[in-house]
């Protein structure tokens, strides 16, 4: 796949955000996408979410090509592939209650299940009991907001969760809590995960596979344990060097 952002008239050069990216993810796989700032991670995620089109190449899911389009065309895909944003507090409508926030994708995507039961089920999966149903986002901690965001993603029955730096805005104890929730959810609900992060320790905890990006290309793609113990690309070694504790683990 290739994605180029054209320069506005009279401005600097176009940016090649992705070039020659070829990624196959199997059902249930948990893949970390790491790389330095500007390496193309978020662009890849936006393409996978069908929010933007590639200039060359395509996204294929279950043998069907995916392209940005109308809500109706993409409804089935949006049910299967859901997004957890970086800033949960900012992404949750402050006026709505948790029950309503989690039910919203069920309504929008016309998911034919008992909405009330599904909301309770996914909230329980992220460790929030019914006392949270009537709270609004300002009555939640950052970690609880992120749990609600994960519950929202799970609600339509997603088979794959795409997350962009889902714990980077949280302090250390909350990061650990949310990582534990994601870990547990992936294991119990058996959903796949593609997680964009700067942090290899997040990958080592959650992912069975890791893809390293540099300047719009995939420069290394390996099992997490191989990547952490036998990195082959200089960019991977550089990223590992920024977390020395992992090198000695």
Question: Which CB sits closer to ligand ATP, 37 or 248?
Answer: 37
Q: What are the residues facing 90 on neighbouring strands?
A: none
| Of residues 15 and 67, the one with the C-beta less far from ligand ATP | 15
CB nearer to ligand ATP: give 66 or 235.
235
Binding mask 39-68 for ligand ATP (x = CB under 6 A): xxxxx-------------------------
Between CA 84 and CA 11 the distance in angstroms is: 33
Secondary structure element (H or E) that encloses residue 241, with its range: helix 234-241
Q: Which residues pair with 64 in a beta bridge?
A: 61
- Please tell me whether residue 242 binds ligand ATP under the rule CB under 6 A: no
* Burial of 36 from C-beta contacts in 10 A (0-12 / 13-18 / 19+): middle
Q: Is 70 helix (H, G, I), strand (E, B) or coil?
A: coil
194 binds ligand ATP (CB under 6 A): no
Q: Report the residue count for the chain.
A: 249
Site for ligand ATP contains 137 (CB under 6 A) = no
Q: In what order do the strands lie in the sheet with 160-164?
A: 81-84, 160-164, 192-196, 30-35, 209-214, 217-223
Least distance (Å) from ligand ATP to the CB of residue 32? Answer: 13
- Which residue lies nearer to ligand ATP by CB, 144 or 235? 235
Among 9, 22, 26, 37, binds ligand ATP (CB under 6 A): 37
Q: Select 3 or 147, whichever has its Cβ closest to ligand ATP.
A: 3
Which residues contact ligand ATP by CB under 6 A?
A: 5, 15, 17, 35, 37-43
């Amino acid at each position: 796949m290739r994605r180029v952002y054209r320069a506005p008239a009279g401005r600097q050069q176009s940016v090649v955000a992705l070039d020659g990216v070829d990624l196959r993810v199997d059902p249930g796989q948990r893949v970390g996408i790491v790389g330095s700032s500007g390496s193309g991670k978020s662009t890849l995620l936006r393409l996978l979410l069908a929010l933007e089109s590639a200039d060359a190449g395509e996204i294929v899911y279950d043998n069907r090509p995916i392209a940005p389009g109308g809500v109706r065309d993409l409804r089935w895909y949006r049910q299967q592939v859901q997004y957890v944003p970086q800033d949960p507090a900012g992404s949750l409508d402050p006026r709505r209650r948790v029950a309503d926030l989690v039910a919203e994708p069920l309504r929008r995507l016309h998911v034919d299940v008992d909405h009330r039961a599904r909301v309770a089920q996914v909230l329980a999966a992220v460790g929030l009991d019914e006392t949270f149903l009537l709270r609004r986002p300002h009555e939640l901690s950052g970690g609880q907001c992120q749990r609600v965001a994960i519950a929202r993603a799970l609600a339509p029955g997603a088979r794959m969760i795409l997350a962009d730096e889902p714990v980077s805005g949280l302090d250390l104890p909350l990061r650990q809590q949310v990582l534990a929730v994601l870990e547990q959810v992936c294991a119990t609900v058996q959903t796949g995960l593609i997680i964009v992060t700067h942090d290899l320790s997040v990958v080592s905890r959650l992912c069975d596979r890791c893809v390293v990006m540099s300047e719009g290309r995939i420069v290394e793609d390996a099992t997490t344990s191989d990547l952490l113990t036998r990195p082959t690309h200089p960019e991977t070694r550089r990223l590992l060097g920024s977390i020395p504790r992992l090198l000695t683990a």
